[in-house]
Amino acid sequence: MTRLNQIVAVEKGIKSRSFQELTEAHHVLQKAGMLAGISRTYRPKDEEGEQLPPESTKVQVKGDEVIGKTAEILTKLFDVTATKDWTNCAAKANVVVDGQPLLSDVPVSYLLFLEKQLVDLLTFVRKLPVLDAAETWEYDASADCWATEPVQTVRTKKIPRNHVKAEATEKHPAQVEVYYEDVVVGYWKTVKFSGAMPAKRINELVERVEKLQLAVKFAREEANNTDVTEQKAGKKVFDYLFA
């Protein structure tokens, strides 16, 4: 008994060959010279006239024959595609994760859709922003995001000071040097906030997507193992079209 995965495997090749042969048939029918033939014989006016050999060109391409061959080629494609699509209507499988069915009786077409979407979702999850590992983060319910512990730093200001290098005398003024001293004038309390996510959470999400990807692939393989009922739609179509 032929199975769906075998039909899927050969369909692409049949489709490619059918398209190629149909294109060739179309091009052949456009060459008027290959559809035309001729037969000419020569008879001189009298017995003393020059004798010339007959001329003939055979018809190389006949429209009806091309149609018949084309119908034969396309019938294979129509039949294998019909067999695949009819079977796809019945081919279903469960998506099982951790031993439990997440989705039941899923058709092949939806399993293929899921596979493609999960590839995109995995890329999305892997690029989620991660909290800076150099900081310690706690969830702040009031801010509804992650926050660091408060860090206190000082604010300083340069205050000018005078340093008397030499006291004033009757003959000379005092020699004073001005310098600046950093004096604490206040304190900064800093809390950093972030809408990024913990690396552990992102790793969990990646693991879930990858696990579902595997489950969907297993389900598709199971569904594609369904026995097919061979369809003969092509003959009916071309019997009507080219009758």
According to the model, what pLDDT value does residue 133 have?
93
The confidence score (pLDDT) of residue 150 equals 93
**What gap in Å lies between CA 7 and CA 92, rounded to an integer?**
16
User: Hey, how many other C-beta atoms are within 10 angstroms of the C-beta on 64?
Assistant: 8
What integer pLDDT is reported at residue 204 of this predicted model? 97
**pLDDT in the model for residue 97:** 95
Q: At what angle do helices 233-241 and 63-90 cross, to 10 degrees?
A: 140
Per-residue pLDDT of the chain (243 residues; tens, 9 = 90+): 688 888 888 888 888 888 888 888 888 778 887 778 889 998 888 888 888 898 888 888 788 888 888 888 889 999 999 998 888 888 999 999 999 999 999 999 899 999 999 999 999 999 999 999 999 999 999 999 999 999 999 999 999 888 877 777 777 787 878 888 899 999 999 999 999 999 999 999 999 999 999 999 999 999 988 888 888 999 899 888 887
Distance in Å from the first CA to the final CA of the chain: 33
Report d(CA 9, CA 182) in Å as an integer.
80
Which tokens sit at 176?
A: 């004073």
- Nearest alpha carbon to residue 202 among 119, 103, 130: 130
Taking the complete model, does pTM exceed 0.85, yes or no? Answer: no
